[in-house]
Amino acid sequence: MEKNFYALSRPSEVWKKIGEGDHDAFTHIYNLYFSDLCRYGSRVCGDRALIEDSIQDLFIEIWRCRKKHPQVQSLKYYLFKRLRRMIVNKLVDEKKTPVERNIGEDYDFKIVFSHESELIAEQISREQQAKLLEALNQLTWRQKEAITLRFYDGFSYEEAAGMLDMNTKSVRNLVYRAMLMLKKHLPKTLMLALLAVLAQR
């Protein structure tokens, strides 16, 4: 099958081809989401090798179990959630998170600017960007992850709730409280820059 087919098809359609044993479809999905998965993984932990190993393990498992693929409404959500679980499990196994597998104070979720920083850079200086990033990382890990899932990664509140194993109302409250805290501590210029970025996500 021509590779143009994959580029012009919805990810969910290509996903079905993987279930039929189409290796080109598998490669397309891997290439399509690899950068996004790396970027998300870098916020969950700072171990680049662990992140890449987790992504490789994820896709090995996907190919190995291709005949039992679930139907998914959002492939990005499905991949992100599975990657998050893999990374957390590896951190637990290496005793970098609590043994009871409940992410707590030891869970190191960091907000990092990547393509979003290009949008911010159009409005504020590098020094102001650093201050904004510092303020964001003063939030609780749940607030940080809720904000990034909702705005940077473009997930709905319902999907963000599924990622965090929380109910939708709780995630909405997390985001609301986080924005109130940022509004209280950030200068108006920085808050407006942040809102402008979030509005484009």
Q: What is the DSSP string of 118-140?
A: HHHHTTS-HHHHHHHHHHHTTS-
Q: What is the pLDDT of residue 102?
A: 43
pLDDT tens, the chain, 201 aa long: 555 677 767 888 889 899 999 999 999 999 999 999 998 898 888 889 999 999 999 999 999 999 888 888 899 999 999 999 999 888 888 765 544 434 444 445 555 554 444 545 555 677 777 777 778 878 888 888 898 888 888 899 999 999 988 999 999 999 999 989 888 888 887 787 777 666 554
The CATH 1.10.10.10 domain(s) of the chain lie at 115-199
Q: What is the pLDDT of residue 197?
A: 62
Q: What is the pLDDT of residue 169?
A: 96
Burial of 156 (0-12, 13-18, 19+ CB in 10 A): middle
CATH annotation of 115-199: 1.10.10.10
Q: What is the CA radius of gyration of the chain?
A: 18
User: How many whole angstroms separate alpha carbon 6 and alpha carbon 183?
Assistant: 43
Q: What is the pLDDT of residue 105?
A: 41
Dump pLDDT digits (tens) for 37-55.
998 898 888 889 999 999 9
User: How many whole angstroms separate alpha carbon 122 and alpha carbon 64?
Assistant: 44
Q: What is the pLDDT of residue 151?
A: 82
The model's pTM: 0.77
The CATH 1.10.1740.10 domain(s) of the chain lie at 10-93
User: How many whole angstroms separate alpha carbon 169 and alpha carbon 147?
Assistant: 14
How many residues belong to the chain? 201
The CB density around residue 61, as the number of other CB atoms within 10 Å, is 12
CATH annotation of 10-93: 1.10.1740.10
User: How many whole angstroms separate alpha carbon 136 and alpha carbon 178?
Assistant: 9
User: How many whole angstroms separate alpha carbon 192 and alpha carbon 195?
Assistant: 5
Q: What is the pLDDT of residue 125?
A: 72
Q: What is the pLDDT of residue 198?
A: 63
Q: Are 84 and 120 in contact (CB under 8 A)?
A: no
Q: Which two tokens stand for residue 152?
A: 């940077």
Give all strands (DSSP E) within 31-107, no chain letters.
Answer: none
